[in-house]
Amino acid sequence: MKLIDRYMHAVAQALPESRREEITRELRANILDKLEAIAEEKGREPNEEEVSAVLKNLGHPQKVAGSFLTGQQLVSTELFPFYKQTLHYGLILVFILAMIQLGTHLLNSGDLSIANFFFEMIHKSLIMFAAVTGVFYLLSNPVGGKKYFDPYQCWSPEKLPRATQSWQRISTCEQSVEFATDVFFLLLLNYSLWMSSIQLKGLTIIFAEPVTTWIPILSAVVIASIILGIWKLIYRYWTVTTLILDAIVSFATAILLLIISRINPVVVDISKTQEHLDTMQITNKVIEIGLFWVGLFLVFMAGLSLYRAWKLSR
Amino acid sequence: MSDEQFEKLRQELRRGILVLAVLGSLRQPHYGYSLRKQLQDAGLDIDEGTLYPLVRRLADQGLLTSEWQQGEGRERRYYQLSPEGSALLESLSAEWLQLNNHVSKILEAGNETH
């Protein structure tokens, strides 16, 4: 098989069928013209080495094929920031779903199953990534070339954040994790409201009686935190009001967590076999220490928010 | 400035102008290789990997008409400006001359201050 045939075959492989014949036919004609020019110059037919040099100069078959298909992109540069943001929110959703699964599994079996949590995270993330990319591919390469919608159409300078300090920008990443954690805890605290009766009967671990009395008030505080979290995810900058509200929510959560950390045990094994008795002791100790330190951290965060609110109001 | 940076900016600068040069050359019919030769003779050396896809793209946009012709025992695809392409070339040429004029003034003013 001649070098040129091999080259054309490789180029054809990288082209869509609809354009294969047309592009390779023309490319072959152009290469033959070039070889003809060499023949004229040298006064003889070009040898294999010279043919190889011409093809090499033209470029890798895939690169050459790609150059005829410009304008093909998975996500357009214009839509890319929006694409990244959507992936970000997709990851939050995946995180929340995986956390719910982890919580349900923990309550049902008493196993924390971290490996399963990571597997679910990766599995769901891949599906989310493929789905979001698919949608953005269609948006970036609309059939007929007419845009379906322009995400950057509705805006005005007046609606831009009134942020003047660098710390006023709320990190989407941190906020997403905080939001996901809030939703997870709200669902975990109120498992009896959303679990099916069969699942409830199958539970082997539940909150201890003294803890359950604190659940309604803790849920109310978490709901307040979620509402504030939604605002922060949408506007992504701090104002004096949101800083004060954040300080109040953080402080209220801190107090409740510190109170609950003094209750022992926080969770109890209600299975007939009492199979988790040993692990329960360790789990309760971990929860107690965890709640205590999270509580202290939230007191610090409340203080920081108040300090920033004071700084911003000056 | 590194050579790489220069090369990147040079290519960016040439990209738009190449369209004008190709459209201008195709007032007369040309096939791929003869078009490249004509541009080369005029002092504009365009890489084949850039020129051939560019010509195809302009043809896809309806700015060029194309026709396969047999000659010297081989077939060649000849391209020529379409009426739409001619109108566009006229507008683009005027734009180019105006731009060139403005940029020259800016560059000259810059030279004078130095």
- Residue from A108, A268, A105 nearest A203 by CA: A108
Q: Which residue of A has its CA nearest to B60?
A: A68
Query: How far, in Å, are A49, B26, B63, B97 from residue B89 at the CA level?
Result: 41, 10, 9, 12
Q: What is the pLDDT of residues A99-114, one digit of tens each?
A: 878 877 776 766 667 8
For the record, the structure tokens of B104 come out as 């020259």
Mean residue pLDDT of chain A comes to: 86
Compute the average pLDDT of residues A21-48. 90
The pLDDT of residue A140 is 85
Residues of A in contact with B56 (CB under 8 A): 23, 26, 68
Q: What is the pLDDT of residues A171-230, one digit of tens each?
A: 777 787 788 888 888 888 888 887 778 777 777 778 888 888 999 999 999 999 999 998
Q: Give the pLDDT band of residue A284 (cuts 50, 70, 90).
A: confident
Contact A70 B34 (CB under 8 A): no
Q: Higher model confidence: residue A270 or residue B18? A: B18
Query: How far, in Å, are A174, A228, B34 from residue A248 at the CA level?
Result: 19, 11, 77
Q: Is B46 on the interface with A (CB under 8 A)?
A: no
Most confident by average pLDDT, A31-45, A184-198, A267-281: A31-45
Compute the average pLDDT of residues A1-14. 88
- Considering chain A, what percentage of its residues have pLDDT values greater than 70? 95
Q: What is the DSSP string of A20-48?
A: HHHHHHHHHHHHHHHHHHHHHHHTS---H
Q: Higher model confidence: residue A264 or residue B110? A: A264
- Do residues A180 and A232 make contact, with C-beta atoms less than 8 angstroms apart? no
By the 10 Å C-beta count (0-12 exposed, 13-18 middle, 19+ buried), A99 is classed as buried
Mean pLDDT lowest for which of A3-12, A123-132, A260-269? A260-269
Between CA A36 and CA A46, with CA A42 as vertex, the angle to 5 degrees is 55
Q: What is the pLDDT of residues B77-109, one digit of tens each?
A: 999 999 999 999 999 999 999 999 999 999 988
The pLDDT of residue A24 is 92
Mean pLDDT lowest for which of A83-87, A143-147, A223-227? A143-147
- Do residues A30 and B33 make contact, with C-beta atoms less than 8 angstroms apart? yes
Between CA B44 and CA B53, with CA B50 as vertex, the angle to 5 degrees is 125
For the record, the structure tokens of A151 come out as 């995400």
Residue A272 phi, psi dihedral angles, 5° rounding: -65, -35
Helices (H), A153-214: 172-189, 191-194, 197-202, 209-212
Q: How far apart are CA A80 and CA A38, in angstroms?
A: 46
Residue B7 sits in a domain whose CATH number is: 1.10.10.10
Whether residue A1 has pLDDT greater than 60: no
Residues of B in contact with A68 (CB under 8 A): 52-53, 56
Q: Is B57 on the interface with A (CB under 8 A)?
A: yes
Compute the average pLDDT of residues A43-70. 89
The pLDDT of residue B92 is 93
C-alpha distance from A32 to closest chain B C-alpha (Å): 9
Q: What is the pLDDT of residues B28-66, one digit of tens each?
A: 999 999 999 999 999 888 888 889 999 999 998 899 999
Domain membership of residue B34 as a residue range: 3-112
Cross-chain CB nearest to B76 (options A29, A63, A70)? A29
Q: Which residue of B has its CA nearest to A69?
A: B53
- Do residues A219 and A131 make contact, with C-beta atoms less than 8 angstroms apart? no
Cross-chain CB nearest to A59 (options B49, B75, B77)? B49
Q: Give the pLDDT band of residue B1 (cuts 50, 70, 90).
A: low
- Written as one letter, the residue type at A226 is I
Query: How far, in Å, are A65, A126, B96 from residue A141 at the CA level?
Result: 19, 22, 30
Whether residue B74 has pLDDT greater than 70: yes
Evaluate the CA torsion angle A20, A21, A27, A32 in order and state its sign: positive
The pLDDT of residue B93 is 94
> How many domains does chain B fold into?
1
Which site among A26, A55, A58, A72 would you substitute to test the B interface, given the most B Cβ atoms closer than 10 Å to its Cβ? Answer: A26
Give me the residues paired with residue B75 across strands: B70
The pLDDT of residue B99 is 92
Contact A27 B53 (CB under 8 A): no
Look up the ipTM and state it: 0.83
Contact B49 A67 (CB under 8 A): yes
